[in-house]
Structure 1
Amino acid sequence: MSILQTTKKAVEQVTGIARPDRREVADLLRPRKANAFRFRDDGLVPNHPFWPLVVYRGAVTLPEDFDPAAVMEALFEANGWGDSWRNGIYNYVHYHSRIHEVLGVARGTAKVRFGGKMGRTLSLKAGDVAVLPAGTGHQRLSASDDFLVVGAYPESGTYDLCTTAAYHAKAVVTIPKVGRPRKDPVYGSKGPLLAAWDRD
């Protein structure tokens, strides 16, 4: 996270300036269907064996009254997804084998390839949210200069960063053991994610 974003985040959390409260966050949500994408293991990126990537297009309104990153952070925190960060998306293929991840686009646009070399490239813009089950490959292919993402994680799981084929054998064993989160990071305990990730 850049020094500027780190400072802004700290000030917003301490003072509440430019940061919505729980009620205000709820008012910024738009009902959206879960766009689900499934990817096969390509030998480098395992992807998840049965849970899809879920993308909510334009799920979050980002008014000028609030810092857009703070909106995403407050939303994810309200639904039990924490350890948030502000940055971009790495420009190399990577995945997490021991934890799920949510990516909320706070500013700008980007083309992101999900699922590895046999995956799919999606255009993301401010207000979009992508929820990645453990094992889902992701890589930024291009982005606007102002592109900013907020990432966060559910309460259970351990962060790791897998980037090469050396991680694959262990990852295919670990990924299915990562439990389903209790809440959808956007829509909470009754969110579409829980139906999309219904197999244990």
Structure 2
Amino acid sequence: METRVRSFFLNDAGDIPNNPDLPVILYQGVFEDNLNIQAQFEQHNWTGTWTGDVYDYHHYHTNTHEVLGVTSGKATVLLGGDGGERLDLKAGDVVVLPAGTGHRKMESTEDFAVVGAYPNGSTPNLQKNDPGVRAQALSQIKNVPLPETDPVYGESGPLLEKWAK
């Protein structure tokens, strides 16, 4: 299976800030053996792992970046708010969401599951589209440190190249 890496920026959606400085990174087909996703994330210090589903409402985290690795099934996930980007994800795909990136599952197969993790095991806060917290959210997002490692490749990899300041 050939790995394809794509990155893109999301515009500020008003009620969902997204991240003005860092792109979303999608690794398509990076894992052939889906059972190794969690171990790979943890090996590269993206910890605090969990397994399950993606919420079916727009939400984001202002205090940490997040990586999602698809372990089974398929789903369409909407990133960036209602006018954002739809991603069709399948087992073996990984998506890295910079702090502030809105995400929501639109539809999925019954067997859809992901493993999620955070750099240095940070604990995410859960924000919904609330214009009342906007200024505080933007301030927090700008202060989230860059990860030291790529969740898939470790000491090198697309994340470290694309997120260099």
TM-score over 0.5 (shorter chain): yes
User: Pick from 89, 102, 110: which aligns with 2:54?
Assistant: 89
How many angstroms does 1:33 deviate by? 4.6
Per the alignment, do residues 175 and 31 of structure 1 end up closer, same or farther by CA in structure 2, a change over 3 Å counting? farther
1:22-171 pair list within 5 angstroms: 32-62=3-33, 68=34, 70-155=35-120, 157-165=122-130, 166-171=132-137
User: Pick from 155, 159, 176: which aligns with 2:142?
Assistant: 176
Q: Which runs of 5+ in 2 are unaligned?
A: none
Q: Which runs of 5+ in 1 are unaligned?
A: 1-29, 63-67
Asked whether the 8 Å contact 1:99–1:159 carries over to 2, the reply is: yes
Asked whether the 8 Å contact 1:110–1:123 carries over to 2, the reply is: yes
TM-score by length of 1: 0.78
How many angstroms does 1:117 deviate by? 1.5
* Higher Cα Rg, which structure: 1
The structure that is helix-richer by fraction is 1
Percent sequence identity over aligned pairs: 43
In structure 2, C-alpha distance between the alignment counterparts of 1:34 and 1:176, rounded to whole Å: 25
Q: What CA deviation, in whole Å up to 9, does each residue of 1:158-198 have, x standing for no partner?
A: 41000031332211111011011000000111111111101
The structure that is strand-richer by fraction is 2
Letter in 2 for 1:189: E
How many residues align? The count is 164
Q: What CA deviation, in whole Å up to 9, does each residue of 1:51-71 have, x standing for no partner?
A: 000000000112xxxxx4x42
TM-score by length of 2: 0.94
